[in-house]
Structure 1
Amino acid sequence: MTSLDIAFTAVGAVTIAAGLLAVTTRHLVHAALWLVLALGGLAGCYLVLGAELVALVQILVYVGAVVVLVIFALMLTRAPIGPSPDHATSMLHRVLAAVIAGGVTALLLAVLVPLAGDDAVERTPVDTAAISGQLFATWVWPFEALSLLLLVALIAAFAVAAVGRRARR
């Protein structure tokens, strides 16, 4: 086991823990902050794998834009900071969700672990120019669609906040 394998495992464990905390916490703002850590950890995984450009795009697009937009929308719409009884679920739903998540995890492990085998994965150098060419030539329209979606979400957050203010008056 190399130092890169250890670093990938450590960063991956932090990412998994942050992802689990993001979906299990009852505080909306805490969930958004755990999501920042999970997406940042994913960028760290990309860095360990040698995909610097993908890690940078991960941080810029997801951490720098999407999560900031989510936090901004939470603050703008005055979402409840603490636990919300309106969003609570029963114990049966939680147990059912845990069973389904365990089944999906077992299925993924059953399929992916035999693919890895006993041999270490050989790392090949990545050509950043080729990746950036694909990303900003072939996939430029999905990025533009994402920016348009973020703009629509921001306008919708303003509209929801304005309606809430008018209703209180």
Structure 2
Amino acid sequence: MSTMATVVFFIFAIIAVAAAWGVVTSTNIVHSALFLALSFLGVAVLYVLLNAEFLAAAQILVYAGAVSILVIFAVMLTLRGDVAVSNPNTNKWTWGVCVAGLLFALIALVILTNDAWRILPMPSTAGGTTELSALLLSWYMVPFEVAAFLLTIALIGAVILAKGGKERK
């Protein structure tokens, strides 16, 4: 990797991590949703640096576009009261930091102690998009459609909850 690519990597890695931190620490839920979109865009740039253009495009279209807009719509539909205090701080963040640190240490320990993971062959980039699309439209078609169906059901459920369905007595 060239020095320019390394500099771009570190800039966008810092942007992605800082935006993820903003998602967690922001007290305004709309700002959290916007930080989430920024984090997704930072990850998309990292995919471009890894020569995974299809994943970068999917990251932008699906996550930065669709998921972020869905979160913003869900926030707007369910918003009650003042937006500035819609996401109150919690005092349990220290537990989250401890658990995340322990998981990171455990995963790093497993990766560093396993010799089979040290030298991995470089994946070929020739025909990656073609092979992926052939797999999505043949072998993985049913799981792909099931995921789309479940996301649609989740969206319908979120709208019903936001509108306040009829109560049964």
TM exceeding 0.5: yes
> Which residue does the alignment assign to 2:107?
108
1:83 has 2:85 as partner: yes
Larger RCO (CA within 8 A; separation ≥ 6) = 1
> Within 2, Cα distance between the matches of 1:48 and 1:141?
31
| 2:97 paired with 1:95 | no
Equivalence map 1:42-81=2 (5 Å):
42-79=43-80, 81=83
* Aligned twin of 1:21: 22
Secondary structure at 1:137's aligned position in 2?
coil
**Counting helix residues as a fraction of each chain, which structure ranks higher?**
1
Alpha-carbon separation, structure 2, partners of 1:131 and 1:123 = 14
Contact 1:53 1:132 in 2 (8 A): no
TM value normalised by structure 1: 0.76
Q: Pick closer, same or farther for the CA change 1:145–1:28 going to 2, 3 Å.
A: farther
Structure 1 residue runs without a partner (length 5+): none
**SS of the counterpart of 1:150?**
helix
Stretch deviating more after TM superposition (143-152 or 31-40): 143-152
**TM-score, normalising length: structure 2:** 0.76
Is the 1:12–1:41 contact (alpha carbons within 8 Å) kept by the matching residues of 2? Answer: yes
Q: Please report the RMSD computed on the Cα atoms of aligned residues, expressed in angstroms.
A: 3.0
